Amino acid sequence: MDKKIKIGLIGLGTVGSGVFKTLKNFDNIEIVKIAVKNINKPRNIEGLDASLLTADPYEIVNNPEIDIIAELIGRLNPAFDLIAKAIENGKHIVTANKELLAKRGEELFRIAEKYNKVILYEAAIAGGIPIIMPIKTILAGNKINHIEAIVNGTTNYILTKMDVEGAQYSDVLKEAQKLGYAEADPTGDVEGFDAAYKIATLASITFNKRINIENVYREGITKIRAEDMKAANDLGYKIKLIASAYLNTNGQADVRVHPMLVSKKSTLAHIDYVTNAVSLSGYPVGSITLSGPGAGEFPTASSVVGDILAIAAELKISDYILPMMRCRHSENAVMTDISETTNKYYISINAKNNKGVIGKIGTICADNDISLASIVQRCVSDDNTADITVITELVQEKNMQNAIKLIEQDGNKVNSLIRVQVQK
């Protein structure tokens, strides 16, 4: 019988439990040790031998028998130090840690190449959706220059419920927290951090240029209102939190995360609840979209186990395994600041219902080189204020922001400013 591949797991939470349960089905894999925070915590996991557990992750990192380590604890610390030491000790790495990759991935990939080890991270981008390996293998012959993605299930769930039920953000967030779709502290999701980490890493792979996470524009969903959802629907759109990356012909990268009015004709408009999707555009493939479960015990475990098995299959074949999956770029992308981008906008304005108010808004826009696709007064409230909805043509972000200041200085309130999807 062939020698079994020895695995160490760091973390036995939702994803770690799914990985353990899945790996039990493979005769060529042996889980040697599992690091957990609390060794005495009750765990309803069938077939789990308590002797496998340790509270010291370095017991795994320093174990000479272990071939592959799966890091499933998240965050920067102690994950970076554990992985770096494991690589130095001759271990290959599988991780689902999007924050680590976005912030310190460059360092880890350099260490991995120095010690001739690989780091695979399919689960770090879109849960159970295979995206990294297809980009590096099947799609390797393409020049992909545009990504639009929904990669955070929590925010997509909240926005879908707001859309379907006509509910306000705060009410849906509370419901999502009760159901376990949102954390007690949802900041990482609802403020766009999670999606930003993912799009930074995905763009780095796709564009073959390093994306500095500090230069990724990020805006969350906390300001989206039920009124915006209704207006978007009336205009032929859905509101989604979109992680996007665009590489222009000069090689500059525009990478960002923010709410967006997405045309109902777009595939992404119909990605609902906790489902994720990634749309890629390039030559010669054209446009493709991959969608599926973006989180959860078994969807994410599917990607982790796939990476483990990919490494395991190569260990006895080559001294330099999986060359196509290794980091091959060292150039830092020149990033486009959000103020220099060109976008279409949806604007919701609450204004005094005075004569000429629409004309004044139109004049401010014209003075800032903003052309309007439409401007509609939707209703007048009891306090004699009117809700005005504006859709612009393409305009520079800095001009739009200046116009917003002037509109508010004129005594109006800008309730919402949301960018509108533009086909590249």
Could you tell me which of 337, 335, 336, 340 has the C-alpha nearest to residue 399? 340
Residue 381: its pLDDT value, please?
73
Please confirm, yes or no, whether 223 is among the known catalytic residues. no
If you search the block for the tokens 């401007």, which residue do you land on?
375
Angle in degrees, CA 411, 404, 268, rounded to 5:
130
In 1-106, which ranges are E strands?
5-10, 29-35, 53-54, 68-71, 92-95
C-alpha dihedral sign at 167, 169, 171, 177: positive
User: What pLDDT score does 1 carry?
Assistant: 46
Environment class of residue 152 by beta-carbon count within 10 Å: exposed (0-12), middle (13-18) or buried (19+)? buried
Among residues 6, 198, 238, 240, which one is catalytic? 198
Question: CA torsion 189→192→194→195, rounded to 10°?
Answer: 120
Q: What is the pLDDT at residue 60?
A: 98
DSSP string for residues in 53-69:
EES-THHHHT-TT--EE
Q: Quote the pLDDT of residue 424.
A: 64
Q: Which domains does the chain have, with CATH numbers?
A: 5-125+297-325 (3.40.50.720), 132-293 (3.30.360.10), 341-420 (3.30.70.260)
Average pLDDT, the chain: 95
Contact residues for 420 (Cβ-Cβ < 8 A; gap 6+): 237, 260, 261, 343, 344, 345, 346, 391, 392
pLDDT tens, position by position, 339-374: 999 999 999 999 988 788 889 999 999 999 999 999
Helix (H) or strand (E) holding 79: helix 79-88
Map tokens 């939470």 to a residue. Answer: 13
Structural contact between residues 187 and 193, judged by C-beta atoms closer than 8 angstroms: yes
As separate numbers, helices (DSSP H) first and strands (DSSP E) second, the chain gives: 14, 18
- pLDDT means per 10 residues, the chain with 424 residues, are 88 95 94 95 90 97 98 96 98 98 96 97 95 95 97 96 96 92 94 98 96 97 97 96 96 97 97 96 96 92 97 92 90 95 96 86 95 86 84 97 95 95 82
